[in-house]
């Protein structure tokens, strides 16, 4: 899994170089739209290959991959989907409560207090004061 980021970088580099040439390297009297993309692409390709070789030889220190890394993102995506139904504030409160109960195994009272307390602060600052137009959801809730 240590190769994922260098491979992504390498693929980006290739795409950016191809795109960069199509935008033109030198236009009129100065650098064109493709000048910096090509430089970025070349830099990334050369050094991501170097990094992958070093990783293969065991010369690069990184860390081990853990599937738990996807949990926060997955949970947030569920929260955002839910917000389309019940509104952002309600879905945030449900998310915090559910995470504390299910993932962190916290007590019912503590989870309720934290989720409702956080929702209250968010409401006061962002909804009441700053009037940020968060999604309301199909049910018309906040």
Residues 20-39 that bind other proteins (CB under 8 A): 23, 27-33, 36-37, 39
Binding other proteins (rule: CB under 8 A), the pick from 40, 112, 136, 142 is: 40
Kindly identify the residues of this chain, within the stretch 45-64, that bind other proteins according to CB under 8 A. 45-48, 50-51, 54-55, 60-64
- Say how far apart CA 133 and CA 127 lie, in whole Å: 8
55's tokens? 């990783």
* 99-138 binders of other proteins (CB under 8 A): 99-100, 103-104, 106, 114, 118, 122, 125-126, 130, 132-135
Backbone conformation region of residue 26, classed left if phi is above 0, alpha if psi is from -120 to 50, else beta? beta
Q: 114 vs 142, which CB is nearer to other proteins?
A: 114
**Alpha helices (H) along the chain:** 4-23, 35-56, 71-86, 88-98, 108-122
């Amino acid at each position: 899994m240590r190769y994922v980021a260098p491979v992504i970088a390498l693929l980006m580099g290739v795409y950016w170089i191809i795109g960069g040439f199509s935008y033109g390297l030198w236009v009129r009297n100065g650098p064109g739209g493709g000048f910096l993309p090509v430089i970025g692409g070349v830099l990334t390709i050369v050094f991501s290959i170097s990094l992958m070789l070093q990783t293969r030889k065991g010369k690069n220190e990184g860390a081990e991959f853990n599937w738990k890394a996807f949990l926060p993102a997955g949970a947030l995506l569920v929260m955002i989907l839910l917000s389309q139904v019940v509104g952002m504030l309600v879905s945030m409160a449900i998310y915090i409560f559910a995470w504390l109960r299910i993932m962190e195994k916290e007590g019912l009272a503590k989870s309720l207090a934290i989720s409702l307390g956080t929702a209250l602060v968010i409401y006061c600052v962002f909804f009441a004061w700053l009037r940020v137009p968060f999604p309301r959801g199909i049910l018309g809730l906040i």
